[in-house]
Amino acid sequence: MRLKALLSLLALCLPFQVFAGIYGYIDSRGVYHFTNIPPVGRKYHVIVPEKPRSVVYKTTNINNTNFDKLILQHSANHGVDPSLIKAIMMAESNFNPYAVSPKGAQGLMQLMPDTARLVNVENPFDPDENIKGGIKYIKMLDELFKGDLELILAAYNAGPQRVMEHKMNVPPIEETKTYIKRVKHYYNKLKRQNES
């Protein structure tokens, strides 16, 4: 209760336009700490995102080329379709490298802290690290689900465990079903653009 009250008070005291992130974590003695540097190697909460984030992830700018060089480079290294990566990035963060979801997913590819650690991403807000880690994770899912795009996307959104729990089917989660449709829509649009 005291922690919730402290977090609420902190949120009220902060200005609405905050540009430095604030993170909280509990140390081995049970003491809650606040820091402006994402703690490496421990679970933490994003209290204030590093930059204001867009709440709406719907995009109309399919022609955003800001991260194309990184997408192409890392996609080639892992043998992943760059159009798929760009479609996922559009659906996940709308090309905002500072995006943070209410569940704690971070950066362009919206990596959860555990996923970021799995793919050796130390700074999820660094576009190069985030894209490289996101593509590495997509490649792992591609191998796990034998190239089945719907299962790959379902696992990226809801976690691979959920897909496996549902006997290698898309879990019956409305958000996940909508996410798959949205990514496939962007993906097909990008592929058509590249063909013309």
Using CA atoms, how far apart are residues 168 and 92, in angstroms rounded to an integer?
Answer: 23
pLDDT tens column, 8-60? 444 444 433 334 567 777 878 888 777 777 766 677 677 666 654 443 445 55
The confidence score (pLDDT) of residue 111 equals 97
pLDDT tens string 166-189: 999 999 999 999 999 999 999 999
158 neighbors 171 (Cβ within 8 angstroms)? yes
Q: Residue ranges of the alpha helices (H) in 18-126?
A: 68-78, 82-93, 113-118
- List of domains in the chain: 2-48 (no CATH), 68-195 (1.10.530.10)
- Give tens-digit pLDDT for 115-159: 999 999 999 999 999 999 999 999 999 999 999 999 999 999 999
Q: In 3D, which of 144, 156, 140, 154 has the Cα closest to residue 89?
A: 156
User: Residue 122 in contact with residue 110, Cβ under 8 Å?
Assistant: no
CA 114/CA 94 separation, integer angstroms: 22
Annotated catalytic residue within 92, 122, 174, 175: 92
pLDDT grade for 195, boundaries at 50, 70 and 90:
confident
Structure confidence at residue 16 (pLDDT): 37
Crossing angle, helix 174-195 and helix 82-93, to 10 degrees? 130
- Catalytic, 92? Answer yes
* DSSP bridge partners of 8: none
At 3, the pLDDT band (50, 70, 90 cuts) reads very low
Distance (Å, whole) CA 154 – CA 192: 23
